[in-house]
Structures are given as C-alpha cells and as structure tokens.
C-alpha cells in the first residue's frame, strides 16, 4: 500500500540522516515605591530627580569585559591542527545522499532493487539486505578515514615543534587587552562620579552601593510597620510626605503590607550628576521578595501572594548637598 511505502521511505530518510550526523560530525505587590495595587499605588515614578525628573532612568547595562587581542604568530608556533578535508565531507555526504535518494525512490515507487533484484528485501519495500550493508559500510569507511586524520594531526604538530629551526626558547608576553569604547551613558556616569569626587575625595562607589542596600532594607521595614518616622532622616521631605501618605492610606483601608524573604541581588550605579550645588546618584535595585497585603483584623491575604515571590527592578535616586554630606532618597522610578 502507498501508506506503507511512505512510512518506509520516511524511516529510511531518518536512518540516513542519523548516520550522516554520526559519521560526519567530528568537529563538533506593594513595597515602598513599588508598582501594582498595594496601598492603592500605581506604577510609575514618585519623588524628584532635579532637572531629570521627567526623564526615564538610564537602564542598567552590565559592564563589558575586555577582550584579549590575538597574538601574532611567531617562531615555534605550531601550525593549526588540520581538519578533515571538505572534499571528503562533500564526497561522503554526496554518496550517502545519492544512496538515500535511490533507496527512497525504490521504496516509494516499488522499483526493483538495483542490488540483486530485490533478493533479501523486506516484504517488497524496495530496500534489500545488500542496500543496508552497503550503506553501513560506506558510513564506517568515512568514520574511519576522519578518525585517522584526527589522530595524525597532533603527531604532525608535535613533529613540527621538535624539528622547527630556531632557538628552543620563545619569549612569552602577557596578552594585550583591547579596552572597549565607553558608551554615552557610561561616560556620563563616570564624569558625574568624577565631579562628585572633586568635592568629596573620600567618596567610594562600593560603600555607596552598600549604603543604597541598607537604605532599601530600612525603608521597606518602616513601610511594613506603616510608620515612616524611623527613617525620616533617610528621605527628602518630599519623599517622606509621599510614603507616609501611602502608609496612612493602608491604615485607612485596614490593610497591612507584608514583605518577606527579601533578597537583593544587586545594587548598581547607573547615573551620577551635579546641579545647583547638589549631588545626584541613581542606582538600579534588582531584588525579589514575597509581597502581599493582609486584612489587619482577620489576617487573611487580600492582595498578592504569600507563596509566589515577586522579582522586580527599580531605580532609586539619592541626593545631598555637594560635599561630604549625608545622602537621602529623593525618587523611586519603575523601568519603562
């Protein structure tokens, strides 16, 4: 039947493709400043960033590692290891492909086998035992040839190294690293940090990142207690008014925002600038936590989930008067 012929043809193609691959592939919810419905807030931005208040935060991009430049070949450098020739690849692939076409044609259209008139065939399918043996033999020969070439290559390389003319000792030089060209956002950040250091030589980026993380935990703790007064000194007057107003709304709705299992993955500097005698630095906070609201009377979850962690990214901007002065949180932005 035609269906059986098509099935057998498909199986033949599948087997041949597998053989070719084997034989030839030898190289082979509601936190402080967060979006969502917690506390009745919506996503977006709160607070002030000076002249950049209306602008989207500069997105964080991971630093690009320097790439070592390729050393020029010198005396005593071994030649590249030879790979199986493209001719053998093409020859082996073409031979197997031609055989596959012939077998498939005979399988689909019932022609007599070219090898023994179908003697040893399987139920008149058009493929004989001789076909299978020939196919396996060709694949094995190609495999042995490629394997032999790969075994001979290291020996040739070793002979070249031992018999090459010239001094046996070759001076080794450390790799020269190409410095990637800084992007505009990176140049803006570095220039801003340099300006800040002019008035505060003791400024340190790593310590500022620790400060940003500590401030994040303290503000989230005060938010969960629905009382921002313990962290008032960490907030500008504007931000204190905004956040305290939001926790007052939580109280009016008789809700408590629970924040649990907070894990800050990274705090990364993304912007730094000065204006009107004021320093500004924006950091990207990447973290996850359990964030949900409960009814203060019943304790039942009314928003969010106490089992599904929330992963989020926010941009926190800190400000201070120019010089070695305390930093305060002035804005929180959600990425676009």
**CATH no. for residue 238?**
3.10.450.240
Number of domains in the chain: 2
What's the chain's length in residues? 336
Is 168 inside any structural domain? no
In sequence order, the 6+-apart residues with CB closer than 8 A to the CB of 136 are: 19
Q: Which domain holds residue 159?
A: 2-27+83-163
Q: Are 154 and 198 within one domain? A: no
The residue out of 105, 132, 163 marking a domain boundary is 163
- Looking at residue 282, what is its pLDDT? 97
Q: What pLDDT, in 10s, does the model give residues 218-265?
A: 999 999 999 999 999 999 999 999 999 999 999 999 999 998 998 999
Percent of the chain at pLDDT > 90 equals: 43
Whether pLDDT at 18 is above 70:
no
Whether pLDDT at 86 is above 70:
no
**What integer is the mean pLDDT of 141-147?**
72
DSSP state of 235: B
Whether pLDDT at 268 is above 60:
yes
- d(CA 30, CA 52) in angstroms, rounded, equals 25
Q: Are 10 and 44 within one domain? A: no
- Looking at residue 155, what is its pLDDT? 46
Q: Is-above-0.85 flag for pTM?
A: no
Is 33 inside any structural domain? no
Is 75 inside any structural domain? no
Left if phi > 0, otherwise alpha if psi is -120 to 50, otherwise beta: which for 33? left
- d(CA 313, CA 284) in angstroms, rounded, equals 7
Q: Are 196 and 271 within one domain? A: yes
**Taking all residues of the chain, what is their mean pLDDT, rounded to a whole number?**
74
Is 172 inside any structural domain? no
Q: Are 146 and 247 within one domain? A: no
Which residue from 317, 306, 253, 252 is spatially nearest to 281, judged by alpha carbons? Answer: 317
**What integer is the mean pLDDT of 114-120?**
46
The residue out of 128, 163, 198 marking a domain boundary is 163
Kindly write down the DSSP assignment for every residue of 112-126, as one continuous string: PPTTTTTTT-STTSS
Q: Are 87 and 107 within one domain? A: yes
Q: Are 17 and 44 within one domain? A: no
Q: Are 320 and 270 within one domain? A: yes
């Amino acid at each position: 039947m035609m269906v059986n012929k098509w099935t057998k043809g498909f199986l033949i193609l599948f087997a041949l493709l597998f053989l070719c691959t084997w034989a030839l592939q030898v190289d082979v919810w509601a936190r402080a400043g967060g979006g969502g419905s917690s506390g009745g807030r919506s996503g977006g931005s709160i607070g002030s960033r000076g002249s950049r208040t209306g602008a989207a935060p500069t997105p964080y991009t991971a630093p690009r590692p320097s790439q070592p430049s390729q050393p020029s070949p010198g005396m005593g450098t071994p030649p590249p290891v030879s790979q199986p020739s493209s001719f053998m690849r093409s020859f082996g692939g073409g031979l197997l492909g031609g055989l596959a076409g012939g077998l498939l044609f005979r399988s689909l259209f019932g022609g007599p086998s070219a090898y023994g008139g179908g003697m040893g065939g399987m139920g008149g399918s058009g493929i004989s035992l001789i076909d299978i043996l020939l196919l396996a033999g060709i694949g094995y020969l190609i495999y042995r040839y490629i394997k032999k070439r790969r075994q001979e290559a290291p020996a040739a390389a070793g002979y070249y190294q031992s018999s090459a003319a010239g001094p046996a000792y070759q001076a080794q030089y450390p790799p020269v690293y190409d410095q990637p060209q800084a992007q505009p956002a990176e140049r803006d950040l570095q220039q801003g940090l340099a300006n800040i250091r002019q008035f505060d030589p003791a400024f340190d980026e790593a310590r500022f990142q620790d400060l940003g993380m500590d401030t994040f935990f303290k503000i989230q703790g005060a938010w969960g207690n629905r009382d921002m007064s313990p962290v008032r000194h960490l907030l500008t007057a504007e931000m204190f008014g905004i956040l305290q107003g939001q926790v007052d709304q939580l109280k009016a709705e008789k809700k408590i925002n629970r924040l649990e299992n907070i894990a800050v993955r990274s705090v990364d500097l993304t912007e730094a600038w000065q204006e009107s005698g004021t320093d500004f630095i924006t950091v990207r906070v990447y973290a996850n936590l359990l964030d949900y609201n409960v009814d203060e009377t019943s304790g039942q979850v009314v928003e969010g989930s106490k089992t599904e962690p929330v992963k989020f990214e926010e941009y926190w901007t800190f400000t201070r008067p120019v010089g070695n002065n305390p930093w305060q949180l002035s804005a929180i932005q959600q990425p676009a």
